[in-house]
Amino acid sequence: MSELTELPVTVAGTARRPLTAVLRSRSGLAGIILTGLLLVVAILSLTGVLPYDATAQDPVHRLAAPSASHWFGTDQFGRDVFARVAAGVANSSLIAVVAVTFATTVGTAGGLIGGFFRRLPDALISGLTNILFAFPPLLLALSLASVFTRTWFTVAVAIAVVYVPIFVRVTRGPVLSLREVEFVRAATSTGESRIAVMLRHVLPNLTSILVVQIALSLSWAVLTEASLSFLGLGTPPPAPSLGSMIFESRTLVSIAPWTMAAPGVVVVLLVVGLNLLGDGLRDVLDPRNRGTR
Amino acid sequence: MVRQLLHHSVVRRGTQMVVTLFGVAVFVFIMLRAIPGNQITAGLGTEAAALTPAQRAALESYYGLDKPLLTQFFGWLGNVCTGNLGVSSRSQQSVLDMTMHSLPVTIELAILSIVLGLVIGVPLGMLSASKPESPRDAIGQTVGLAGLSIPAFLLATALLSVLAQVWGYNPNGRVFAPITQDVLLNLQQMMLPAFVLGFGIAAPIMRTTRTAVLDVRSEDFVRTARAKGVPVRRLYVRHILGNALVPIVTMTGLQFGYLLGGAVVVEQVFSIPGIGRQVLLGIQQKEYAVVQSTVLVIAVAFVLVNLLTDVLYRVIDPRVRAS
């Protein structure tokens, strides 16, 4: 029984209006503002309303310092750093969102099936999870990214595979406890199919755990994508990526510090924003964290 | 007796570990077979197209590619178990030899990073917990958030570029000195990479310390000790930290995976010839034999460290030992 008391099953009752609660928490609000601002910039870049193109070269104005016409200056090919950073944020966000969506879907399905059916499916899923957990995360992403022919989508898949086991693990435990809870047993005894019970009664009670995990995974996914592209295994050029921009700028620091500072600050802000959002959501949604803060 | 032994959790963990490692070997094998092309096309590049069918068959038989997959897998696994990790076709050096040189470098880097991570993280976590919601807590939390959010490659590149280009200090520009040859130069070369990795793991260590100290602080024995007049410093170090150690050790052990992954990035930036760089070079030069074996070695190291953390945590916490 002690397991049940610790269970975050009380989701529906913990916060009537989670969004208002997150907005009220300091870190949640800061996270929403930061991430929101960067997303707006990314969307502007995708719609093409920014004055410069991210890949257009202008040799005459190369390595120009930040000014009114080039807010973040230009790089060694005269490309506008602001436009490149904006396109990089769009690119990173796209990869992170696709990767985390994939990981959430597959991982949650795995956790649900393993926890609910036990026996062979559980043994197989847990075994696979243990194997994936045996690799340091970045190393696994790196090896997978090197295996596929590189496109933004394969990079997303490589990152997703790393996060699948995390979602299996965070959902399986609660599912194990939930299947013994009375309302789930009652639903099973009324003759509802097991899949219906899983989707209608178990899954909704995992929402809070999943929401927090998704926010934190997004920040890791952004970091992983940036690290991969820094190592030359991320999004292929000429598409701008924050990681590869930082790699290219390393020899320019003393003459054009903005080429490193701009993508550097933006990648940190994006990750900070997502981390703050995750922390805020956790404070609001996870009953286990109450009182420790 | 045998039954008791089988139920012993360490034995159970050991068995589980062997099964996992076998799965890891299968996974690595399949992953590298999925690469477009094979050792032949990877080794020869475009020249592979000029091979006659007879030459190709000869090469396939040399690499064992003409055998069934199962035979190939067990052949490779048998070789790995007897210490034959393959040969780099570029340098003609055996992968075992390369690993014997690179692994100690990464282990040294990991130990230095963990020490730095603990030195930064634990006091910061205790400082935060000593007065929650105060300015000092805010400082601790901010440093923690920075550690979580600043990517290792960014911190590493920024530090190296600024120090080298602005102040002209760059010990990593010189040939790498193993610790057995030149301790002073080695430590200078290791200092920045270890700081970058240590800063990264200081964040989770800080957060865990803070939560654990807050949890322990509210327990009865702490109140008793306080009532008995135990000095504050002794109370924090001996009574509170002593009892908060289990989650801190577990968290530190868990960070090892981050260190091995982060090592790839940091070793690359600072030109440290560790095992992470060995993988990356292998990938860049399409030396799949090197990548396959090195990734396996790293996974084994990682699984062993996790087992060690588990054992260590039993040693530290008498409650777990008793159960």
- Which comes out higher in pLDDT, residue A181 or A170? A170
- Euclidean distance between CA atoms B189 and A18, whole angstroms: 49
State the residue for tokens 């049940």.
A4
* Burial class of residue B104, CB neighbours in 10 A (0-12, 13-18, 19+): middle
On the question of pLDDT at B198 being above 90, the answer is: yes
Q: Which residues of chain B neighbour A135 with C-beta distances below 8 Å?
A: 24, 257, 295, 298-299, 302
Nearest to B154 among A147, A267, A272 (CB): A267
- Coil, strand or helix: which one is A77? coil
Report which residue type is found at A191.
G
Say what the pLDDT of residue B290 is.
Answer: 83
pTM beyond 0.95: no
B92, B180 in Cβ contact below 8 A? no
Task: Report, as an integer, the average pLDDT of B290-317.
Answer: 82
DSSP3 helix / strand / coil % (chain B, rounded to 5): 80, 0, 20
On the question of pLDDT at B301 being above 60, the answer is: yes
- Euclidean distance between CA atoms A81 and B180, whole angstroms: 45
Min Cα separation A230/chain B (Å): 7
| pLDDT bucket at A13, cuts 50 / 70 / 90 | very low
Min Cα separation B146/chain A (Å): 8
Q: Which residues of chain B neighbour A271 with C-beta distances below 8 Å?
A: 148-151
Long-range contacts of B131-134 (CB under 8 A, 24+ apart): B132/A293, B132/B214
Task: Report, as an integer, the average pLDDT of B35-58.
Answer: 66
- Which comes out higher in pLDDT, residue B177 or B208? B208
**Is B18 at the interface with chain A, CB within 8 A?**
no
* Burial class of residue B100, CB neighbours in 10 A (0-12, 13-18, 19+): exposed
Nearest to A136 among B23, B151, B257 (CB): B257
- Which comes out higher in pLDDT, residue A88 or A10? A88
Beta-carbon count within 10 A of B202 CB: 29
Say what the pLDDT of residue A97 is.
Answer: 93
Min Cα separation B273/chain A (Å): 16
- Coil, strand or helix: which one is A74? strand
- Coil, strand or helix: which one is B94? strand
Say what the pLDDT of residue B172 is.
Answer: 80
Instruction: Outline where A48-135 has alpha helix (H).
Output: 81-117, 119-133
On the question of pLDDT at B162 being above 90, the answer is: no
Residues contacting residue A188 through CB under 8 Å, at least 6 positions apart: A194, A197
B257, A162 in Cβ contact below 8 A? no
Q: Note the pLDDT tens digit of each residue in B39-49.
A: 666 666 666 66
- Coil, strand or helix: which one is B13? helix
Min Cα separation A248/chain B (Å): 11
H or E segment to which residue A76 belongs? none
The conformational region for residue A92 under phi > 0 = left, psi -120 to 50 = alpha, else beta, is: alpha
Q: Which residues of chain A neighbour B256 with C-beta distances below 8 Å?
A: 136
**Is B244 at the interface with chain A, CB within 8 A?**
no
On the question of pLDDT at B281 being above 50, the answer is: yes
Q: Note the pLDDT tens digit of each residue in B115-140.
A: 999 999 888 988 888 888 888 888 88
| pLDDT bucket at A173, cuts 50 / 70 / 90 | confident
Share of chain B above pLDDT 90, in %: 8
Say what the pLDDT of residue A6 is.
Answer: 40
State the residue for tokens 């995974």.
A217
E strands present in B130-206 = none
On the question of pLDDT at B294 being above 70, the answer is: yes
- Coil, strand or helix: which one is B20? helix
Query: With the C-alpha atoms ordered A98, A101, A103, A105, is the resulting torsion angle positive or negative?
Result: negative
Cα B267–Cα B83–Cα A124 angle in degrees, nearest 5:
80
- Euclidean distance between CA atoms A215 and A281, whole angstroms: 8
Task: Report, as an integer, the average pLDDT of B5-13.
Answer: 66
- The answer to whether the CB atoms of A219 and B280 lie below 8 A apart is no
| pLDDT bucket at A175, cuts 50 / 70 / 90 | confident
Select from A276, A218, A222, A213 the least CA-distant residue to A33.
A276
A234, A225 in Cβ contact below 8 A? yes
Say what the pLDDT of residue B118 is.
Answer: 92
Looking at mean pLDDT, say which of A27-31, A63-67, B58-62 comes out highest.
A27-31
Going from the C-alpha of A144 to that of each of A40, A102, A148, the distances in angstroms are: 31, 15, 7
Say what the pLDDT of residue A14 is.
Answer: 46
Task: Report, as an integer, the average pLDDT of B155-184.
Answer: 82
- Which site among A128, A130, A135, A169 would you substitute to test the B interface, given the most B Cβ atoms closer than 10 Å to its Cβ? A135
What is the pLDDT of chain B when averaged over all its residues?
Answer: 81
Say what the pLDDT of residue B8 is.
Answer: 65
- The answer to whether the CB atoms of B148 and A275 lie below 8 A apart is yes
On the question of pLDDT at A12 being above 50, the answer is: no
Task: Report, as an integer, the average pLDDT of B201-215.
Answer: 88
| pLDDT bucket at A102, cuts 50 / 70 / 90 | very high
**Is B134 at the interface with chain A, CB within 8 A?**
no
ipTM, two decimals? 0.79
Give the residue numbers in A contacting B (CB under 8 Å), as ranges: 127-128, 130-132, 134-139, 142-144, 146-147, 149, 219, 223, 226-227, 230-233, 243, 246-247, 250-251, 253-254, 260, 264, 267-268, 271-272, 275-276, 292-293
Looking at mean pLDDT, say which of A58-67, B121-130, B189-198 comes out highest.
B189-198
Residue B162 carries which DSSP code? I
What is the pLDDT of chain A when averaged over all its residues?
Answer: 80
Q: Which residues pair with B94 in a beta bridge?
A: B87
Residue B166 carries which DSSP code? I
Say what the pLDDT of residue A1 is.
Answer: 33
Cα A14 to its chain centre, rounded Å, is 24
- Which comes out higher in pLDDT, residue A220 or A18? A220
- The answer to whether the CB atoms of B23 and A219 lie below 8 A apart is no
B308, B253 in Cβ contact below 8 A? yes
- Coil, strand or helix: which one is B19? helix
Going from the C-alpha of A154 to that of each of A143, A144, A222, the distances in angstroms are: 12, 9, 15
On the question of pLDDT at A7 being above 80, the answer is: no
Q: State the angle between helix axes of A152-178 and A81-117 in degrees (0 to 180), rounded to the nearest 10.
A: 30
A287, A10 in Cβ contact below 8 A? yes
State the residue for tokens 């399986």.
A172
Share of chain B above pLDDT 70, in %: 87
- Coil, strand or helix: which one is A1? coil
- The answer to whether the CB atoms of A292 and B215 lie below 8 A apart is yes
Q: Note the pLDDT tens digit of each residue in A236-270.
A: 877 788 888 888 888 887 787 888 888 889 999 99
- Coil, strand or helix: which one is A160? helix
Min Cα separation A50/chain B (Å): 26
- Euclidean distance between CA atoms B193 and B295, whole angstroms: 21
Please give the structure tokens belonging to residue A241: 């990526």
- The answer to whether the CB atoms of A227 and B152 lie below 8 A apart is yes
- Which comes out higher in pLDDT, residue B51 or B26? B26
Q: Which residues of chain B neighbour A250 with C-beta distances below 8 Å?
A: 157, 160-161
A36-40, A43-47, A73-77, A264-268: lowest mean pLDDT where? A73-77
Task: Report, as an integer, the average pLDDT of B283-307.
Answer: 83
Say what the pLDDT of residue B36 is.
Answer: 58
| pLDDT bucket at A288, cuts 50 / 70 / 90 | low
Cis before B135? omega within 30: no
Residues contacting residue B139 through CB under 8 Å, at least 6 positions apart: B127, B128
On the question of pLDDT at A289 being above 60, the answer is: no
Say what the pLDDT of residue B253 is.
Answer: 80
Looking at mean pLDDT, say which of A169-173, B40-44, B217-221, B239-243 comes out highest.
A169-173
